[in-house]
């Protein structure tokens, strides 16, 4: 009976399992396998290269710079986005006039596809664009944004936060709204001020959604591609050459597919390591 059930279940599962295997799992394995091979010009085929592609990468100055830029970007963008999302979630769960409307305006950019947002911001960041118009109105000097090595990462972080903060805020608002009213009232009765209530009551009680947001945000920021490809092409001087763009560039502009696969493996390994580290940290102070 159970065996028969198994066969019927398999029939229902088969199309999805084939899709998941072919479209997700096989390419992941193939990236690992291919990263150990290289194209041989002499013999006209692929030959086993062992760790050759990896040592090539590690000895390349451009690759090391790309890793450095990606780590710097990760360390900056994630705390900023999580903190801003949390503060906005707290702000928009207070009773205040128009809170619903203002919240909707923050969520609105979620609907814009990331590549379209990147195109919009490429016009905003032009020397004669909206950003400099606003600065001038405030009496500040015009800024180069994307063409300055010192400002390019910051400019990308602003654009990515415009895209992402509303999305992460949704999870945190859901978390805050699940805090029982009695807990808030008890804190109020105990005379806790707004700051105290946020740090000692709200923050510990939204740990789970907060941890999820931090991890998911980190993963999505490690895979940032469209803004780099559309706005900066990794420049100026490689200062915005995030790993995901470097992989694409290596695979299609340089045409070195095997080394690109090795870089994919490194990117995924880096992602897993950072996510595992975050999990450990979050569990550590429980």
Partner 1 sequence: MKRIGLSVAGGVVGILFFLPLLWVVTNSLRPGSETFANLDPLSWQTFFELRPTLVNYSALVSSEIGRATINSILVSAATVVIGLAVCATAAFGLAAFEFRGRGLVFGVVVLSFLVPFDAIAIPLSTMFRDWHLTNTFTGLVLPGIGNGMAIFLLRQFFLGIPAELVEAGRLDGLGWFGVFRWIYLPLSKPALIGAGLMLFLFQWQAYVWPLLIGTDAQHILGPVALSNLQGQNFTDYGLVFAGAVVLTVIPLVVIAGFQRYFVQSVSSTGLK
The single residue listed with the structure tokens 């195109």 is 119
- Using CB under 8 A, count the residues that bind partner 1: 94
Binding part of the chain for partner 1, among 37-45, 49-57, 143-151, 207-215 by CB under 8 A, reads 207-215
Cα separation, 256 vs 258, whole angstroms: 6
Asked if residue 117 lies in contact with residue 109, where contact means CB atoms within 8 angstroms, the answer is yes
Out of 98, 141, 191, 284, which residue is the one contacting partner 1 (CB under 8 A)?
98
Out of 76, 192, 198, 226, which residue is the one contacting partner 1 (CB under 8 A)?
226
Burial level of 209, CB count in 10 A (0-12/13-18/19+)?
Answer: buried
Q: Evaluate the CA torsion angle 233, 216, 161, 204 in order and state its sign.
A: negative
Interface residues for partner 1 in 107-126 (CB under 8 A)?
108-116, 118-124, 126
Interface residues for partner 1 in 149-168 (CB under 8 A)?
162, 166-167
* Nearer residue to partner 1 within complex by CB, 114 or 234: 114
Out of 50, 68, 79, 133, which residue is the one contacting partner 1 (CB under 8 A)?
133
Q: Which contiguous run of DSSP H or E holds residue 40? A: strand 37-40
Tally of CA atoms within 13 A in the half-sphere of 163 that contains its CB: 23
Q: Which residues contact 271 (CB under 8 A, 6 or more apart)?
A: 218, 219, 222, 223
* Nearer residue to partner 1 within complex by CB, 151 or 162: 162
Out of 219, 236, 278, 282, which residue is the one contacting partner 1 (CB under 8 A)?
219
Smallest distance, Å, CB 270 to partner 1? Answer: 10
Asked if residue 246 lies in contact with residue 263, where contact means CB atoms within 8 angstroms, the answer is yes
Nearest CA-CA partner of 209 in 183, 166, 164, 175:
175
Interface residues for partner 1 in 233-252 (CB under 8 A)?
244, 247-248, 251-252
Q: Is 186 in the site for partner 1 (CB under 8 A)?
A: no
Smallest distance, Å, CB 94 to partner 1? Answer: 5
* Nearer residue to partner 1 within complex by CB, 124 or 282: 124
Smallest distance, Å, CB 1 to partner 1? Answer: 9
Task: At 175, list the tokens.
Answer: 């978390």
Interface residues for partner 1 in 29-68 (CB under 8 A)?
30-31, 34
Out of 170, 192, 198, 282, which residue is the one contacting partner 1 (CB under 8 A)?
170
Cα separation, 246 vs 242, whole angstroms: 6
């Amino acid at each position: 009976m159970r065996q028969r059930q198994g066969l019927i279940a398999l029939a229902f599962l088969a199309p999805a399992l084939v899709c998941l295997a072919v479209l997700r799992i096989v390419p992941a394995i193939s990236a690992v396998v291919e990263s150990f091979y290289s194209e041989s010009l002499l013999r006209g085929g692929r030959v086993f290269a062992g760790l050759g592609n990896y040592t090539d990468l590690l000895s390349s100055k451009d690759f090391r710079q790309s890793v450095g830029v990606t780590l710097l970007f990760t360390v900056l963008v994630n705390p900023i986005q999580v903190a801003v999302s949390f503060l906005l979630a707290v702000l928009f769960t207070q009773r205040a006039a128009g809170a619903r409307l203002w919240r909707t305006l923050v969520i609105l950019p979620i609907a814009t596809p990331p590549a379209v947002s990147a195109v919009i911001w490429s016009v905003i960041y032009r020397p004669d664009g909206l950003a400099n118009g606003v600065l001038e109105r405030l009496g500040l000097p015009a800024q180069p944004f994307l063409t300055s090595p010192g400002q390019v990462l910051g400019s990308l972080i602003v654009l990515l936060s415009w895209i992402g903060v509303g999305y992460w805020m949704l999870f945190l608002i859901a978390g805050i709204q699940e805090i029982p009213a009695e807990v808030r009232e008890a804190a109020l009765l105990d005379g806790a001020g707004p700051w105290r209530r946020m740090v000692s009551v709200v923050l510990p009680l939204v740990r789970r959604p907060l941890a999820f947001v931090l991890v998911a945000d980190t993963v999505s920021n490690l895979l940032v591609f469209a803004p780099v490809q559309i706005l900066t092409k990794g420049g100026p001087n490689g200062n915005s050459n995030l790993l995901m763009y470097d992989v694409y560039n290596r695979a299609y502009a340089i045409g070195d597919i095997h080394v690109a696969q090795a870089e994919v493996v490194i990117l995924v390994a880096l992602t897993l390591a950072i996510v595992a580290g975050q999990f450990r940290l979050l569990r550590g102070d429980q």
